[in-house]
């Protein structure tokens, strides 16, 4: 995509982490989607309509057919993961799929979830915009916690509240809505809104407010070719419905939002953090991340209270 912070050196990945990279053309998602059995697709759509807070069809950007196309895409990617024996992945998405097919929001959200409409399943780390260092950060965090891992833009800073709005198109796993083992409990606050104009192919954006709680935030970045790990302590916060909506409408309302209070001053964060994407898992995991960095020879770049 030309997002240089999201493209890593494949030779360096192999030498440092023992990770090989497979590149699969996005056309495979389109091609394989058509072969998914209609019964599975219909069952998935009805499951979402039954359990979500709302599926807001508008007859243009979001129709039952477009939602089914997203469900087909999810099954197509699951097939590719199994066939290629992928441990974690990323999907470029823009602009080919988002302009001419559909967005990958539903696919990415449910890959990162511990369930889908067919029942419980292992989580599979999938990063939007094919963010390689983002996916690698998420895979490390998943290995520490076993939980889904947040993927988000560092989108907006509410200076009056000292909180950050972390959101990205529909990427958040729906598990973060309530962090429940019961998908119905998570989905009861999840809305599927029509995609915004920026994605003309349409589809559903997976929208909710992350449940409050302590979390650890991390991101691998590189400076002069050397890896470093940014880590910060913090917590997700949530407010009354009116406040949540007011805050969300200051960025992109239709996307998922994780309102976050970081234990680091905004000036330090903005002058130090080296990426547009950030990742998080519930709980306190700073000590474990320090150990990972020692083992993998990654420079520690703790922020604020995590220094």
Distance from C-alpha of 248 to C-alpha of 250, rounded to nearest angstrom: 5
pLDDT tens for 149-197 read 999 999 999 999 999 999 998 789 999 999 999 999 999 999 999 999 9
Confidence label for 6 from pLDDT (cuts 50, 70 and 90): confident
pLDDT (0 to 100) of residue 93: 93
pLDDT (0 to 100) of residue 4: 76
pLDDT (0 to 100) of residue 19: 97
User: In a 3-state reduction of DSSP, which class is residue 5?
Assistant: helix
Average pLDDT over all residues of the chain: 96
Candidates 3.40.50.1980, 3.30.420.10, 3.20.14.10, 3.10.580.10; CATH matching 4-306? 3.20.14.10
Among 1-10, 23-32, 207-216, name the one with the lowest average pLDDT. Answer: 1-10
pLDDT tens for 242-281 read 999 999 999 999 999 999 999 999 999 999 999 999 999 9
Q: 99: which residues sit within 8 A by CB, 6+ positions away?
A: 199, 200, 201
Other CB atoms within a 10 A radius of the CB of residue 228 amount to: 16
Estimate the crossing angle of helix 10-17 against helix 132-145, to 10 degrees. 20
Distance from C-alpha of 251 to C-alpha of 282, rounded to nearest angstrom: 24
Distance from C-alpha of 277 to C-alpha of 103, rounded to nearest angstrom: 19
């Amino acid at each position: 995509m030309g997002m240089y912070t999201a493209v890593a050196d494949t030779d360096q990945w192999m030498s440092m982490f023992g990770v090989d990279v497979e590149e699969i053309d996005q056309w495979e998602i389109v091609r394989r989607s058509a072969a998914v059995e209609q019964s599975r697709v219909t069952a998935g759509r009805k499951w979402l309509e039954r359990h979500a807070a709302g599926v807001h069809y508008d007859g243009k950007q979001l129709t039952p057919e477009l939602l089914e196309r997203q469900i087909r895409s999810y099954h197509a990617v699951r097939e590719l993961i199994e066939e290629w024996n992928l441990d974690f992945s990323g999907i470029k998405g823009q602009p080919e799929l988002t302009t001419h097919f559909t967005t990958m929001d539903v696919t990415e959200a449910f890959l990162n979830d511990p369930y889908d409409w067919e029942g419980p399943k292992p989580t599979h780390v999938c990063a939007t915009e094919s963010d390689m260092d983002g996916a690698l950060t998420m895979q490390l965090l998943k290995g520490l916690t076993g939980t889904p891992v947040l993927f988000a833009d560092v989108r907006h800073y509410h200076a009056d509240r000292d909180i950050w709005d972390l959101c990205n198109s529909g990427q958040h796993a729906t598990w973060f809505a309530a962090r429940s083992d019961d998908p119905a409990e998570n989905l009861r606050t999840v809305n599927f809104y029509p995609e915004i104009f920026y994605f003309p192919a349409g589809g559903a954006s997976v929208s909710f407010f992350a449940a409050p709680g302590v979390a650890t935030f991390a991101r691998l970045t590189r400076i002069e070719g050397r890896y470093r790990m940014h880590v910060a302590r913090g917590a997700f916060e949530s407010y009354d419905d009116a406040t949540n909506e007011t805050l969300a409408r200051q960025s992109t309302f239709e996307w998922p939002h994780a309102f976050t209070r970081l234990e680091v001053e905004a000036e330090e964060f903005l002058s130090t953090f080296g990426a547009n994407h950030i990742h998080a898992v519930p709980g306190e995991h700073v000590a474990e991340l320090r150990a990972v960095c020692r083992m993998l020879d990654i420079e520690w770049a703790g922020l604020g209270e995590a220094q």
